Amino acid sequence: MVLTGAEIVIRCLQEEKIEYVFGYPGGAVLYIYDALFNQKQVRHILVRHEQAAVHAADGFARSTETVGVALVTSGPGATNAVTGIATAYCDSIPMVIISGQVPTAAIGQDAFQEVDTVGITRPCVKHNFLVKDVRDIAATIKKAFHLAKTGRPGPVLVDIPKDVTMQKCAFEYPQEVSMRSYNPVVKGHQGQIRKAVQLLLEAKRPMIYAGGGIVLSDAAEQLTKLTRLLGFPITTTLMGLGGYPASDRQYLGMPGMHGTYEANMSMHFSDVLLAVGSRFDDRVIGNPAHFAEEPRKIIHVDIDPSSISKRVKVDVPIVGDLKEVLDEMIRQLEASPTRPDASALAVWWKQVEEWRRRDCMKFKNSDDIIKPQYVVQKLWEVTNGEAFVTSDVGQHQMWAAQYYRFDKPRRWLNSGGLGTMGVGLPYAMGAQLAHPGSQVACVTGEASIQMCIQELSTCKQFRLPIKIVNLNNRYLGMVRQWQELFHGERYSESYMDSLPDFAKLAEAYGHVGFRIDKPSDVEGALRDAFSRKNDLVFLDFQVDQTENVYPMVQGGKGLTEMILSSEDL
């Protein structure tokens, strides 16, 4: 069958069973949009800014087990997409981004809307391609999907010049990909796994530390089984929330800069630490030198060898797919006549429970002013802990992570690695499209939400009944918190003046908007909002302006040097 390059692009997406493409048209992709017009299988979601197209496709991927797809034009379309691509890259999200390019003959001529898209995106993609021949389109797109979802996942960009989309050739979608230079390890090394299991069985103060890899590899079930089998305490990072049920007794909450006292203390004083799909990053272990002061054996399982022994020296490295490796660990444990050291574990748990009794997440609620933590607690109650929750970046993000207790993976969507303000609403769009009947909440701040506020229009067009929970403190709250603590209360440019009336703004876009001022109205407003199954509701909560996120490990400090509340200052 002879097709144009543009038709081939769309056929490839059909072959990949892609339901939604998030995009924005322009000159270089006109033929692709024409091909899109002539079919029904792949639906296009017209966003209002290319950054949101990539974020929404990313959110779709995060909330499902599929690859997100975005389509943008050359030049400004591609540069607008860069923040989205970098965001997905930092969190290893499988995505394919198709960008238009000026015609091949014009490349390098400083043509209208020409940028070196492959060059600009190179450091923030898993891989990228410039397709110069129509006969290469199908094989390249096949490779792009393969690369995006295998190994350590990530965004892959395919840049296609306009003339290539007009040329014709026979279409055949390859069934398989074989690349001699790319063969990610899947199965873990048997001997290493045996060593790890041995260490786990001998441990006196064991701890499990799981990261986003658990969610990405869909290994939550295996992790839960292994953790229960061992009876060890477990923590999951910001990216790993939901990878282990938060309501379980063995769960200690999140570690790191705004993690719980018990999780940080247990990580620090463990004698055997099992790290799975996590990377010891600076927001988790704080100062690596301080972390290394306490001797402990570290087992590190990850699909990416370069994540192992990068910041922390590891004793038992295991490269492989988490699902496979954890399954093998479970198999060996079940086959072993030895059990974990029960008496040592009892002593360790006693210590862990003592740390837990500090109740570091307690906060003083108020009858007069809305506490942001209270709003998230109520959100959790009202949605039975079952909503898809997205967040932006700032204090509200930490409160959402701390107070919404995720029992299932892929329910919590946030930009952990790049920390991109503006992701919340587009992530919610992706999640809502992927899960039409489900409750989707976007927990945000008055600053972050304005970074992609134009998407309220997209939400109207595609009838997405997202609930926006705006924790409005009239400050760049996280910036203000750092200025309060580390910059002598000089609030340089962190106060937001001239905010819009968000409720009216939502109405202007054709949605429902509430403004909530009193603590006693919080729950009612949330219930009202979630009862409106077909409406996007913007809930503008006027919250305490001075509230800070605790516990806190300051940059450069060690995990045990936490500030638990303002009284510690």
Catalytic residues, by residue number, are 50, 112-113, 162, 478
C-beta of residue 388 within 8 angstroms of C-beta of residue 59: no
For the beta carbon of residue 118, count every other beta carbon within 10 angstroms: 17
Of the residues 401, 447, 468, 512, which one makes contact with ligand TPP according to CB under 6 A: 447
Q: Chain-centre distance of CA 367, in angstroms? A: 34
Shortest reach from residue 16's CB to another protein, in Å: 19
Taking the CA atoms of 199, 202, 203 and 209 in sequence, report the sign of the dihedral they define: positive
Q: Mark 247-267 as b/e (b = at least 16 C-beta within 10 Å).
A: eeebbbbbbbbbbbbbbbbbb
Residue 445 near ligand TPP by CB under 6 A: yes
List residues bridging with 514 in a β-sheet.
539
For residue 283 the two structure tokens come to: 């927001």
CB 262 within 8 A of CB 565: no
Q: Which stretch binds ligand TPP (CB under 6 A): 16-24, 276-284, 376-384, 440-448?
A: 440-448
Pick the stretch among 59-67, 162-170, 222-230, 387-395 that binds ligand TPP (CB under 6 A): 387-395
Note whether 71 and 43 are within 8 A (CB): no
End-to-end CA distance of the chain: 71
- 118 lines the binding site for another protein (CB under 8 A): yes
Determine the interface stretch with another protein among 119-127, 221-229, 381-389, 526-534 (rule: CB under 8 A): 119-127
Residues 6+ apart with CB under 8 A from 178: none
- Here's the x/- map for ligand TPP, 409-438, by CB under 6 A: it reads as ----------xxxx----------------
Rounded to the nearest 5 percent, the helix, strand and coil shares of the chain are: 40, 15, 40
Among 73, 473, 483, 548, binds ligand TPP (CB under 6 A): 473
Between CA 213 and CA 219 the distance in angstroms is: 8
Assess 480 for contact with another protein (CB under 8 A). Answer: no
The residues facing 170 across adjacent strands are 2
Of 72, 115, 370, 479, the one binding ligand TPP (CB under 6 A) is 479
Contact partner at residue 305 from another protein, ligand TPP, none, CB < 5 to 8 Å by partner kind = another protein
- C-alpha 163/C-alpha 550 separation (Å) is 56
State the binding string over 174-213 for ligand TPP (x if CB under 6 A, else -). Answer: ----------------------------------------
Burial of residue 1, with CB atoms counted within 10 A of its CB: 0-12 exposed, 13-18 middle, 19 or more buried: exposed
Burial of 40 (0-12, 13-18, 19+ CB in 10 A): exposed
Q: Which does 38 bind (CB under 5 to 8 A by kind): ligand TPP, another protein, none?
A: none
- Between CA 111 and CA 102 the distance in angstroms is 7
Fill in the DSSP letter of residue 495.
B
Asked if 289 interacts with another protein (CB under 8 A), we say no
310 binds, among ligand TPP, another protein, none (CB under 5 to 8 A by kind): another protein
Least distance CB 316 / another protein (angstroms)? 16
Q: Which of 41, 109, 306, 520 binds another protein (CB under 8 A)?
A: 306
Q: Quick one: which of 40, 123, 437, 497 contacts another protein (CB under 8 A)?
A: 123
Binder of residue 147, out of another protein, ligand TPP, none (CB less than 5 to 8 A by kind): another protein
Q: Any contact of residue 310 with another protein (CB under 8 A)?
A: yes
Question: What residues does 46 pair with on adjacent strands?
Answer: 23
CA distance 490 to 495: 11
We find the least distance from the C-beta atom of residue 118 to another protein, in angstroms, to be: 6
Kindly identify the residues of this chain, within the stretch 390-409, that bind ligand TPP according to CB under 6 A: 392-396
Non-local (6+) Cβ contacts of 232 within 8 A are 200, 203, 206, 207, 208, 250, 274, 340, 345
396 binds, among another protein, ligand TPP, none (CB under 5 to 8 A by kind): ligand TPP
Separation of CA 106 from chain center: 38
Dihedral sign, CA of 496, 501, 502, 506?
A: negative
130 binds another protein (CB under 8 A): yes
Q: Rule CB under 6 A: say whether 446 interacts with ligand TPP.
A: yes
Task: Please report, for residues 60, 235, 298, the alpha-carbon distance to residue 282 in angstroms, rounded to integers and kept in the order given.
Answer: 28, 16, 17
Instruction: Name the DSSP letter for residue 509.
Output: T
Please state whether the peptide bond connecting residue 94 to the residue before it is cis, i.e. omega within 30 degrees of 0. no
Residue 478 interacting entry, from another protein, ligand TPP, none, C-beta within 5 to 8 Å by type = ligand TPP
State the Cα–Cα distance between residues 101 and 160, nearest whole angstrom.
5
Q: Which of 1, 179, 289, 335 binds another protein (CB under 8 A)?
A: 179
Question: Looking at 38, 175, 178, 181, which residue binds another protein (CB under 8 A)?
Answer: 181
Q: Is 119 in the site for another protein (CB under 8 A)?
A: yes
**Shortest reach from residue 51's CB to another protein, in Å:** 22
Residue 554: contacted member of another protein, ligand TPP, none (CB under 5 to 8 Å, by partner type): none
Nearer to another protein, 145 or 404 (CB): 145
Q: Does 304 bind another protein (CB under 8 A)?
A: yes
Among 66, 79, 192, 309, binds another protein (CB under 8 A): 309
Q: Please state the closest distance from residue 25 (CB atom) to ligand TPP, in A.
A: 25
Question: Interface with another protein by CB under 8 A: which residues?
Answer: 118-119, 122-123, 126-127, 130, 147, 179-182, 304-306, 309-310
Question: Interface with ligand TPP by CB under 6 A: which residues?
Answer: 392-396, 419-422, 445-448, 471, 473, 475-479
